[in-house]
Homo-oligomer: A and B are copies of this chain.
Amino acid sequence: SRHRIAVIPGDGIGREVVPAGLEALHATASRFGISLELDEFGFASAEYWQRHGTMMPADWEETLRGYDAIYFGAVGWPEIVPDHVSLWGSLLQIRRTFDQYVNLRPCRLMPGVRSPLAGREPGDIDFVVVRENTEGEYSSVGGRVFEGTERETVLQETVMTRIGVDRVLRFAYEQAARRPARHITSATKSNGISISMPFWDERVADMAGRFPDVRVDKLHIDALAAQFVLHPERFDVVVASNLFGDILSDLGPACAGTLGIAPSANINPERDHPSLFEPVHGSAPDIAGQGIANPVGQIWCASMMLEHLGHPEAAAHLLGAIEDVLALGPAEAPLTPDLHGKGTTVELARAIADRVRER
């Protein structure tokens, strides 16, 4: 069976790491006899915006609907289009329209990667953030009154629904039930945010009843962020609202050395719509065009995508190749500058693709 993949490089380093990711994907697919059909799209980019005045074509939904997965780079180029316009006009809209309500973000300290945390070794940091991905603080509901006057007031609604919260919690509990530690940490802020967050806590407690084997803790987001730095070894599955999950899934990878290797899967678990795979990092205008962006996050996304498409062995093989190359360290492997190496995007991707073939 052939898988149809939509490829969207987007902006900035997205255009550099996506080809790198595809090289590793192709190497893995041919090794495992997986047949892929790839179509590349130029929308969801500032270039497209400049030409069309929108981020995506009007029929983007029909266009993407038929694919088994979307392999996405990064979007955002604030010099040309304000971030909230580019993101709400592309990535955030795709997540919502395709009901990709789980954003799964593994965070692992890899062999060969230096953590900024003193004395941390691979094994000390190995958790997964399950982020709600369609509602909550990212609502687009609200507005301004008395614009331009001293009375100017801005309202932005956080919207949480029982359906929306329960389904992501269920996914998180199921993940935890399958992992050896069987432990969930729920990110809250119910002491300060007095309506939505107590509701979140209630749903967490309710879901706990259905998973008696899973141990559950709740921590306020401020304390939780502090604990990531002080005790990252305490975390297994972390479940969080859209905003809190966003913050924790950048902070976690930073603690594990670099954002450059962190992948994410925007999943519609029911498979009514395609899921989307993109690295956690953004388009990084500051280093775009230099050929030094770390391709590992994008390559790890290819592994998550293979897993989602029903090829767990191929996924594990590719992840193993990533680990093998990283483990060589910056002296032996062409690691990128964020990994304290002197390698380029292309060199590091090639080394991983080679390793896929050799292993």
A-side residues, CB < 8 A to B, are: 76, 82-84, 86-88, 92, 114-119, 137-138, 140, 142-144, 149-163, 189-199, 221-223, 225-227, 229-230, 242-243, 246-247, 249-251, 253-255, 259, 282
Contact of A84 among B76, B138, B197, B226 (CB under 8 A): B197
Q: Looking at the assembled complex, report how far the CB atom of A348 sits from the nearest CB atom of chain B, in whole angstroms.
A: 20
Which residues of B sit under 8 angstroms from A247, Cβ to Cβ? Answer: 221-222, 225, 247
Q: Looking at the assembled complex, report how far the CB atom of A119 sits from the nearest CB atom of chain B, in whole angstroms.
A: 8
Q: List 19 A-B contacts (CB under 8 A).
A: A84-B192, A86-B191, A116-B117, A117-B117, A118-B119, A137-B193, A142-B157, A143-B195, A153-B161, A154-B196, A155-B196, A156-B157, A156-B158, A189-B246, A192-B242, A193-B243, A221-B247, A222-B246, A222-B249
Which residues of B sit under 8 angstroms from A282, Cβ to Cβ? Answer: 223
The 7 closest A-B pairs by CB, nearest first: A226-B254, A83-B191, A222-B250, A152-B162, A156-B196, A84-B194, A118-B118
Copy total for this chain:
2
The answer to whether B192 touches A243 (Cβ under 8 A) is yes
The answer to whether B153 touches A229 (Cβ under 8 A) is no
Q: How far is the CA of A230 from the CA of B76 in the complex (A)?
A: 23
Q: How far is the CA of A146 from the CA of B284 in the complex (A)?
A: 43
Interface centre among A88, A114, A198 (most CB of B within 10 A): A198
Q: Looking at the assembled complex, report how far the CB atom of A166 sits from the nearest CB atom of chain B, in whole angstroms.
A: 9
Which residues of B sit under 8 angstroms from A250, Cβ to Cβ? Answer: 222-223, 225-226
The answer to whether B156 touches A161 (Cβ under 8 A) is no
Q: How far is the CA of A114 from the CA of B259 in the complex (A)?
A: 25
Q: How far is the CA of A153 from the CA of B139 in the complex (A)?
A: 13
Q: Looking at the assembled complex, report how far the CB atom of A275 sits from the nearest CB atom of chain B, in whole angstroms.
A: 20
Q: Looking at the assembled complex, report how far the CB atom of A286 sits from the nearest CB atom of chain B, in whole angstroms.
A: 11
Contact of A156 among B154, B195, B255 (CB under 8 A): B195
Which residues of B sit under 8 angstroms from A163, Cβ to Cβ? Answer: 150-151
